[in-house]
Amino acid sequence: MPLEAEIKAEALKLGFVVSGIARPAQPETFPSYQSWIAEDCHAGMAYLARPESLSARADPKSLLPGSRSIICVGLPYPPPETPEPDAQTGKGNIAAYALQPDYHDVMTAKLKQLGQRLTELAGRPVSFRACADSAPILEKDFARQAGLGWIGRNSLLSAPGLGTYLVLGELLTDLELTPDAPLSGDPCRDCRLCVEACPTQALRPNRSVDARRCLSYLSIEHRGAIPAELRPKLGPRVFGCDTCQSVCPLNQYVTTAAAAPALISAFPDLIEEFMLDEAAWKARYKGTPVLRARFAGYRRNLAIAMANTRAVGAAQALQTALEEELPADLRETFLWALAQLS
């Protein structure tokens, strides 16, 4: 069996549902990425625009000197749960991927296992570096090059039969491996459902996302107040957004099983969550991506969702919270939410 086939078989054993190989050359989308940065579409994620970050994305070999191949893999997570029509009164919504154990930890551990197996499979010491959404690498482009799927209009990689419900990882290695070919065709060519469904019109014509308007960015990465005009668009969302995936025709028949059982509910009770102190909140969401929002950011999201859903008891909860010492931006958000309820 060729070494490439052995590596892919090993990846399958580790739980990766797709795998492929690409060359560590400058990705085709790097010029578009530069334009995206220049247009400030990265919003408050200043680390994306650092010179060392840009140079690494232009030259992935800098991440592992002597690298000759990139092994690209994908781990599945279940599609979003569909609530009963009247079951969401006073309930928030957490994006599907965040219900699982933090993918950074899971992906890193599995990639390192695969990297350690390379030495045995190759019969010589092999250098490798695991990348799990933490290294400056244009992972969707390399996944596309490796034949894992297509990049859709929502900017996400869609794999045949698996859709976009995947998290991606890369293993740079000094092994000289035969690269795979990209998939032909473009299943998104005549479809714009995700573009039209995006609550804030954050999807750009070149299949990138304007983070300044993206509800996933605003509810997770953004620090401080969310622009007032975008707050009603959040609806019940308290962490992330699945809209552009939920409407995608390529996702309609995906039944991917979880690699692990859900750790938390997709539909938390807004008032109960709002009453948690920071220690209780951290304990509840330990080991999940939700901690990425930080306590202040999550309370901000809860207040907006409480106003948007007109949750019973929200006004009293907000009034009580306003008696606390609060950062100015959080106090402003709570006052805004209270005003909407009035």
Statement: residue 38 has pLDDT above 60: yes
Q: Tell me the longest C-alpha to C-alpha distance in the chain.
A: 70
152-202 tens-digit pLDDT: 999 999 999 999 999 999 999 999 999 999 999 999 999 999 999 999 999
C-alpha to C-alpha distances, 99 to 71, 103, 110, 258, nearest whole angstrom: 27, 10, 19, 10
- Residue 277 makes CB contacts below 8 A (sequence gap 6+) with none
CB contact at 8 A, 143 and 74: yes
CA–CA separation, 78 and 261 (whole Å): 10
Query: With pLDDT > 90 as the criterion, what percentage of the chain qualifies?
Result: 92
pLDDT for 204 equals 97
CA gyration radius, the chain? 21
pLDDT band at 35 (very low <50, low <70, confident <90, very high): very high
Burial 2-37 (b: 16+ CB within 10 A, else e): eebeebbebbeebebbbbbbbbbeebebeebbeebb
Statement: residue 226 has pLDDT above 60: yes
Query: With pLDDT > 70 as the criterion, what percentage of the chain qualifies?
Result: 97
pLDDT for 302 equals 98
257-309 tens-digit pLDDT: 555 678 999 999 999 999 999 999 999 999 999 999 999 999 999 999 999 99
C-alpha to C-alpha distances, 324 to 270, 276, 277, 296, 317, nearest whole angstrom: 19, 13, 12, 13, 12
C-alpha to C-alpha distances, 43 to 29, 78, 86, 269, 299, nearest whole angstrom: 19, 29, 36, 30, 21
Q: Tokens 């995936």 belong to which residue? A: 245
Higher pLDDT, residue 88 or 338: 338
Question: What is the average per-residue pLDDT within 239-245?
Answer: 97
pLDDT for 88 equals 59
Higher pLDDT, residue 262 or 52: 52
69-97 tens-digit pLDDT: 999 999 999 998 877 555 557 999 999 99
pLDDT for 325 equals 95
φ/ψ (deg, to 5) at 85: -50, -40
C-alpha to C-alpha distances, 8 to 190, 195, 207, 305, nearest whole angstrom: 33, 34, 29, 43
Which residues are catalytically annotated? 133
pLDDT for 342 equals 87
pLDDT for 1 equals 83
φ/ψ (deg, to 5) at 71: -90, 115
CA–CA separation, 90 and 195 (whole Å): 28
Statement: residue 58 has pLDDT above 80: yes
